[in-house]
Amino acid sequence: MSDTIAFALVSPDRSLFDEKVKEVTIPAENGEMQALLQHTPTIAKLGVGELSCTLTSGTRKRVVVTGGFVEVLPERVTVLVRTAELPEEIDTKRAEDALKRAEQMLLHPDEHTDIQRARMAFARASARLKAARHL
Amino acid sequence: MAAIHNLRRRIKSVRNTRQITRAMKLVAAAKMKRAQERVFHARPYANKLQDVIRSVVNRQEIGGQPLLRTGPEKKIRLVIVSADRGLCGSFNAMVFRRVFELLEKWRDKEIVVDFIGRKGFEHFQNKVQNIGRNYKDVFRKFDPTAGAKIAEDLMESFISKECDAVYVVYNEFKSVLQQNLIVERLLPLVEEDFSGKEALIPHLFEPSAEEVLQDLLPRYVETQIFRVLIESNAAEFAARMTAMEAATKNATEMIDKLTLQMNKIRQAAITTEIIEVVSGGQISN
């Protein structure tokens, strides 16, 4: 039995991870979950947020994901995301602006405000900023 | 002299054609490179998604999902993926031949045919009875949503029991020199028989099996359609490139042949002239 998890993360236009890891922390729709070795088989919908994993070397890697699925098996984790961004690709300035905009919309909603969308935007922007700060 | 003149004209025209085929080859090569990259980037996602679906159906009995409905295939929807343009060797012809075979094989079934790509529609519009949808300009602009509309139509047709199965015929991009013709069943999603279930622990679903599958299954169909489109697109450019390269080579051979012929005639004319001059001189002597 291996003591590492085979971790793969793919988005429709590229493959971001395909390697052995010790642990993966996944932003599922209903809250964060952590997959260690021998996790029970699970399929979950992904929310918006920061996904992180610990490589066998001990380094932590982060990536911001929005929507998709994850399949957790005892020795394998497969993540299928709709979009994914690595921290170095994130435009901090843009994320900050987006965060402010979403904040304003949530604090002072008028009848045109789509609360659901504003919440999503807020979650996305804060996940981006959080991941970018770890760089 | 008239013969030489004609030959010269022909050489010129073949040379012009060669210039065109050469340009077309270069264009196809450039476009193929892009399409090929797209295929390679999209493959991991499609493959992983397929693995997950397979794992899902292997680990538990799934009921109530309309996309997994199986039963006798009486009404079939056939999606023909061809190119919008010709001049790509046997690319389209291969598809047409295979479709005819399938129509023959499914004689006793009700078949509706959908078209992606202009050539297929033009070829079959008067040859098949039930024409479904004809998707135009799919290959002109490409984005991940390109397959979404088509997938939606197909799923709707399947769920409303308008058809019992959806098959798609397309060219897969194997390599620059090789395209594989593929007939694939798109719906229903899985094999009819899962009695060979391994004794595996069933999945936990978050938030619920219903919700996950309602998202996951359509997503899979969409991805499959998108994959078919980009594979076919890359294969088309590869086929066109090969065809145009062959055409360029043939044109070069033809020019050589015609030039040789022209030189021979010219030489013969010169020889005749010399003989005339020499024999004329001899007489006057």
pLDDT (tens digit per residue) in B98-110: 999 999 999 999 9
CB pairs under 8 A between A and B: 74
Given a cut of 90, whether residue B259 has pLDDT beyond it is yes
Regarding whether B210 and B85 lie in a shared domain, the answer is yes
Read off the pLDDT of each residue in B122-150 and give the average, rounded to a whole number: 85
B272-282 pLDDT, tens per residue? 999 999 998 88
Chain B touched by A28 (CB under 8 Å):
yes
Please state the separation of Cα B3 from the chain's center in Å.
44
B13-25 pLDDT, tens per residue? 999 999 999 999 9
Greater confidence, B129 or B232? B232
Pairwise CB contact (< 8 Å): B56 & A43 = yes
Predicted TM-score (pTM) of the model is 0.84
pLDDT band at A132 (very low <50, low <70, confident <90, very high): confident
Place of tokens 């405000």: A113
Given a cut of 80, whether residue A2 has pLDDT beyond it is no
Greater confidence, A133 or B225? B225
Closest residue of chain A to B47, computed from CA coordinates: A10
Lowest mean pLDDT across A65-74, B5-14, B135-144: B135-144
Share of chain B above pLDDT 90, in %: 64
Regarding whether B17 and B156 lie in a shared domain, the answer is no
Given a cut of 60, whether residue A38 has pLDDT beyond it is yes
Share of chain A above pLDDT 70, in %: 99
How many domains does chain B fold into? 2
Contacts of B45 in chain A (CB under 8 A): 10-13, 15, 80
Give pLDDT, residue B158: 93
CATH of the domain at B258: 1.10.287.80
Q: What tokens were used for B143?
A: 């984005």
Read off the pLDDT of each residue in A51-55 and give the average, rounded to a whole number: 93
The one catalytic residue among B78, B80, B88, B150: B88
Strand, helix or coil at A81? strand
Regarding whether B263 and B222 lie in a shared domain, the answer is no
* Domain of B10, in residue numbers: 2-25+244-284
Give pLDDT, residue B167: 95
Given a cut of 80, whether residue B2 has pLDDT beyond it is no
Regarding whether B221 and B260 lie in a shared domain, the answer is no
Mean pLDDT of chain B: 90
Greater confidence, B69 or B118? B118
Read off the pLDDT of each residue in B170-186 and give the average, rounded to a whole number: 92
> Residue B156: what residue type?
E
Give pLDDT, residue B196: 53
Given a cut of 70, whether residue B194 has pLDDT beyond it is no
In A89-128, the residues whose Cβ lies within 8 Å of chain B are: none
Regarding whether B273 and B148 lie in a shared domain, the answer is no
Per the CB < 8 A criterion, the answer to whether B119 and B85 are in contact is: yes
B35-55 pLDDT, tens per residue? 999 899 989 999 999 889 888
Read off the pLDDT of each residue in B62-91 and give the average, rounded to a whole number: 88
Give pLDDT, residue B197: 55
Chain A touched by B183 (CB under 8 Å):
no
Given a cut of 80, whether residue B199 has pLDDT beyond it is no
Domain residue spans of chain A: 5-85, 90-133
- Report d(CA B282, CA B285) in Å as an integer: 5
Regarding whether B232 and B106 lie in a shared domain, the answer is yes
Q: Which of B41, B25, B58, B43 is nearest to B194 (CA)?
A: B58
Chain B touched by A43 (CB under 8 Å):
yes
- Report d(CA B250, CA B212) in Å as an integer: 57
Asked if B163 is an active-site residue, the reply is no
pLDDT band at A9 (very low <50, low <70, confident <90, very high): very high
Strand, helix or coil at A20? strand
Share of chain B above pLDDT 70, in %: 96
Give pLDDT, residue B96: 95
DSSP per-residue string spanning A28-72: ETTEEEEE-TTPPPEEEEEEEEEEEEEETTS-EEEEEEEEEEEEE
Q: Which of A10, A83, A6 is nearest to A49 (CA)?
A: A83
- Report d(CA B46, CA B64) in Å as an integer: 24
Given a cut of 90, whether residue B56 has pLDDT beyond it is no
Regarding whether B258 and B219 lie in a shared domain, the answer is no
Crossing angle of helices A92-107 and A115-133, rounded to 10°: 150
Regarding whether B219 and B104 lie in a shared domain, the answer is yes
Regarding whether B146 and B39 lie in a shared domain, the answer is yes
pLDDT band at B82 (very low <50, low <70, confident <90, very high): very high
Rg (CA), chain A: 16
Give pLDDT, residue A28: 92
Regarding whether B175 and B75 lie in a shared domain, the answer is yes
Interior/surface letters B85-124, b for 16+ CB within 10 angstroms, e for the rest: eeebbebbebbbebbeebbeeeeeeebbbbbbbbbbbebb
Regarding whether B150 and B54 lie in a shared domain, the answer is yes
CATH (one of 1.10.3470, 1.10.1330, 1.20.5, 3.30.70) for A90-133:
1.20.5
- Looking at domain A5-85, what is its CATH homologous superfamily? F0F1 ATP synthase delta/epsilon subunit, N-terminal (2.60.15.10)
